[in-house]
Amino acid sequence: MTTDNTPATDDKDLRLLQLLSQTFGTASAASTEIINLEAILNLPKGTEHFVADLHGEHKAFNHILRNASGNIKRKVTDLFGNTMRETDIRQLCALIYYPEKKLELIKAEEPDINDFYSITLHRLISVCQSVSSKYTRSKVRKALPPEFAYIIEELLHESPSDEDKQAYFSRIIETIISTGQADAFIIELCKLIQRLSIDQLHILGDIFDRGPGAHLILDDLSYYSRFDIQWGNHDTLWMGAAAGNDACIANVLRLSLRYANLTTLEDGYGISLLPLATFAMETYADDPAKRFQPTVAPDSHVDHKTRQLIALMHKAIAVIQFKLEGQLIARHPEWGMDNRRLLEHISPDRTSVFLPRENNTYPLNDHNFPTIDPADPYALTPEEQTLVAKLHHSFRVSDKLRRHLKILLSNGNLYTVCNSNLLFHASMPLNPDGTLKEISVMGKTVAGKRLYDRINHLMRATFNDDAPAEIRSYSKDYYWYLWCGPDSPLFDKSCMTTFERYFIDDKSTHHEDKGAYYTLRDQVGICDMILDEFGVTGEHRHIINGHVPVKAVKGESPIRADGRLMVIDGGFAEAYHNKTGTAGYTLVYHSTGFVLVQHEPFTSVDDVIRTGSDIAGTTVIVESSAKRIRVRDTDRGRVLANQIAELKELLHAYRNGTIPERKK
């Protein structure tokens, strides 16, 4: 584009301005839009929330969305801390989080409900004014519930403290109550506060596995407006299963059975486990399957009989998994994973196994392998073939799984760069000397950003009907490699020792050597090199990861490399709480800097509603900005600044006659 003082004479520039003139057909229209965009640039930046490794913990995730990681309570306290008791603040917050259920309780206990309505509506309007103050009227208008849009907009932009408007404001509140609309109005106002409290949500991978509500998390996200997902290894495993990769399907089932988490499979996606249960009972009927007992909470209601059935199903699908994985490895020798084909190394008497990577033989703690043929250990029996076909069909025909896959593909990527932050789930493959590791992906050697981009392209090709059949076939297989391949940026370990953990007591064989990134990423220079590789600029730039739980209980910190790196996997999954000492992190990036919220375990919605309890947590200021960050300082601001420059070009073209104004 040219400068303001020089007419646009370049043909390409002129064509672009002519296209722009179709939207802004007059000098007045262009000027008005410039004024609007300049005003937006000077608003405070919206609040971004970063979470990682949700692992199916829907209740905790849903609560964090509702309370904006504690941000709503901070707003309420700022507004009313000097005029309301702490208990009343908690009750108001509980109403904002769960308005329908809280109103039911209040109406059963409140002697003067109309007085409650009046006081509460005034307070909610004040909270809504506060959370909406950083947005344009246009953006707030789009978030308003249609049935109350006009009334809420009037209340948001009028002040009851203004003497001339006090009667007008109060009369609106009185009429809402007298017409019987108070409940519906309060509910919609609370939901609006929730929506406006988080401008952008970033999910750094691993929505699936361990907890029971991954499908519910994706249901929530389907109604959410602004979010992105950086795929994690568990998400990738489910995407591979949805694509029809049988090894991925077996892994998904094994993990679900390991944690007795059948809700997502059966209730969420309609995957029938009856064929697997029938096969397991017939094939492993007398097997104690001690190593396959599910991991359940001490207060679990899963009875002994059910646990034993799950254990048999768990063992059955694990053996099938090892067979299917062995077939994949044989089909792709370029992956260099032949040392994971362990079934062929089981001794004829089933008492020991040779591990190629250890160059040693170890005793097996389980000798019952009725479906493994020593002459062809990776061949499925006819019964296993039938079972795998049924399971494959269940995953492929699940409508809800397809819908959720679309959400993952439409809103997801292996990495995201946003406002000087590089987001990816797990690892950046590095050599021991800290240089980017070159990796062959379908015949092409790539590293760093080019590696991530190539894998992104390959993953999407699986679901692209226009992609060549050869690429689609390879990419479907590659989903399993991304789950456990040594050079996968979602795994980046020497191997996944699933077989050893089940069948060998010697724990030295369970060890998985991590890639160089996991030790080198604490160095400022390494982080800067990676940020440069992805073109991330800015005075304050960061890498944000999940994947590896931060063991706060052992003194580990999520903030590393002099603030360049933030690892925010705090262990949302209940199975990790004892290991991490926390119940997850939320990283909040608002207009004054970064705040890290360390969560305690979520108790229940009922506790929040009845007592006003919340997810207790520790808040740490990670990085403060010397001046308030405005929209002009963000990625969106740079886009708007370019739009302003183009509009100024158009305005100049109108004024010098290069482009005629359109008639009204």
Cα–Cα dist 79/72, whole Å: 11
488, 482 contact by CB (below 8 A) = yes
Residue 615 has pLDDT above 70, yes or no: no
Q: What is the pLDDT of residues 508-540, one digit of tens each?
A: 999 999 999 999 999 999 999 999 999 999 888
pLDDT, average across residues 190-201: 91
Q: How many helices (H) and strands (E) does the chain have?
A: 28, 16
Residue that wins the pLDDT comparison between 110 and 101: 101
Residue 581 is predicted with a pLDDT of: 57
End-to-end alpha-carbon separation of the chain, Å?
A: 27
Percent residues over pLDDT 70 in the chain: 94
C-alpha span between 345 and 225 (Å, rounded) = 52
Predicted pLDDT at 154: 84
Model confidence band, residue 15 (pLDDT cutoffs 50, 70, 90): confident
Between 457 and 575, the more confident residue is 457
Burial profile 266-291: b = 16 or more Cβ within 10 angstroms, e = fewer: eebbebebebbeebbeebbeebebeb
Residue (of 424, 492, 476) closest to 452 by Cα position:
424
Q: Is the pTM of this model over 0.75?
A: yes
Residues 146, 147, 150, 151: what is their CA dihedral angle, to the nearest 10 degrees? Answer: -140
Strand ranges (E), 425-547: 439-441, 444-446, 542-545
Q: CA 71 to CA 47: how far, in whole Å? A: 10
Query: Locate tokens 């246009």: which residue?
Result: 138
Q: Phi-psi category of 180—alpha, beta or left, where left has phi over 0 and alpha has psi -120 to 50?
A: left
The answer to whether residues 568 and 52 touch, using CB atoms and an 8 Å cutoff, is yes
Highest mean pLDDT among 292-306, 515-529, 537-551, 650-664: 515-529
Q: Do the Cβ atoms of 587 and 566 come closer than 8 Å?
A: yes
The three-point CA angle 557-562-567 to 5° equals 40
